[in-house]
Amino acid sequence: MALSDRLLAAWYQGHPALSLLRPLELLYRRVVNRKRARFLAGEGGIYRASVPVVVVGNITVGGTGKTPMILWLIEHCRQRGLRVGVVSRGYGATPPSLPWRVRAEQSAAQAGDEPLLIVQRSGVPLVIDPDRGRAVQALLDTEPLDLILSDDGLQHYRLARDLELVLIDAARGLGNRRCLPAGPLREPVERLQSVDALLYNGAQADREDGFGFTLQPSALVNLRSGQRVGVEHFAAGQAVHAVAGIGNPQRFFTTLEGLNWRPVPHAFADHAAFTAEALDFSPALPLVMTEKDAVKCRAFAAADWWYLAVDAQPSTAFVSWFDDWLARLNH
């Protein structure tokens, strides 16, 4: 088990050795609290866009379903007649320059896996830059937009925001509720009291402190041919090699089990770079991966490699709440 995997297990399942990291946690808390205090005081060169900015982020390390939620928000806002753009840090991307406009034909190495997935799925105008304010300005310089979605960026306090949506994994929660490196939190748990809405990934119903949303499998897509078939393409009991290089691979494996398949799990690090050799598994079985991983594997995919497309389905209460917020933008 890799060090990162052992840390994750300790954060969410407990381990007495974490107490040794408390001094580092206290130092980390001071730094992040100071950053937020400067933001609230209006200090530090904060960029304020000319259109509303919605941050879709998390307070924990690891995946919480931000990309599917961003895709849902893009489509929902478009249905309401809004012109939407997206900015992202572009984790792992190596563009020739910054800020960088992501196009569907670019490689994941150049554009980043999540930004490329978002553009290929939705065609949305998207710019990557660790300086998200600069990314927003680059978008607004070239596109007539009504709303900006920031993919992650809750802790990027150089960007002013009009709405903060925080996603939490309903099954894992906040772990031991401690900050890095003694726990999985990027900011103290008290930070959640100041955000606009909490959305719990995997919650079948709304909670007292937030809304529920689920990720629903919608199709299997062949990496080589692009053929799109229903999830019933594989019969119940079908064994498949399951590949996940995401923040919480187990959630993907559990999803495949929920489709009554028998996944042979292959967990990789989040944003992992893949090769054909690394995915040459035995015995020979169909291979199913996440859509985020698929954008990095199409060039060398075998004929029986598929990705599982999933769609975010937020609760009706959240949809109503978000529509009310959108309506207030026009008043």
Question: Would you write out the chain's pLDDT as a tens digit for each of its 331 residues?
Answer: 465 778 888 999 999 999 999 999 999 999 999 999 999 999 989 999 999 999 999 999 988 999 999 999 999 999 999 999 999 999 989 999 999 999 999 999 999 999 999 999 999 999 999 999 999 999 999 999 999 999 999 999 999 999 999 999 999 999 999 999 999 999 999 999 999 999 999 999 999 999 999 999 999 999 999 999 999 999 999 999 999 999 889 999 999 999 999 999 999 988 899 999 999 999 999 999 999 999 999 999 999 999 999 999 999 999 999 999 999 987 6
CA-angle at 173, arms to 201 and 194, nearest 5°: 85
- Cα separation of 309 and 259, whole Å? 13
- The pTM of the full predicted model, rounded to 2 decimals, is 0.95
| Among the listed residues 277, 278, 308, 311, the one whose alpha carbon sits nearest the alpha carbon of residue 292 | 308
- Cα separation of 214 and 203, whole Å? 7
How many other C-beta atoms are found inside a 10 Å radius of the C-beta of residue 296?
22
- Cα separation of 139 and 3, whole Å? 39
Tokens of 231: 């999830």
- Cα separation of 137 and 124, whole Å? 16
Tokens of 213: 């949303």
- pLDDT tens column, 272-289: 999 999 999 999 999 999
Domain borders along the chain are 3-212+314-329, 215-313
- Cα separation of 68 and 131, whole Å? 23
Alpha carbon of 248 to those of 4, 143, 255: distances in Å? Answer: 12, 34, 12
CATH code for the domain defined by 3-212+314-329: 3.40.50.300
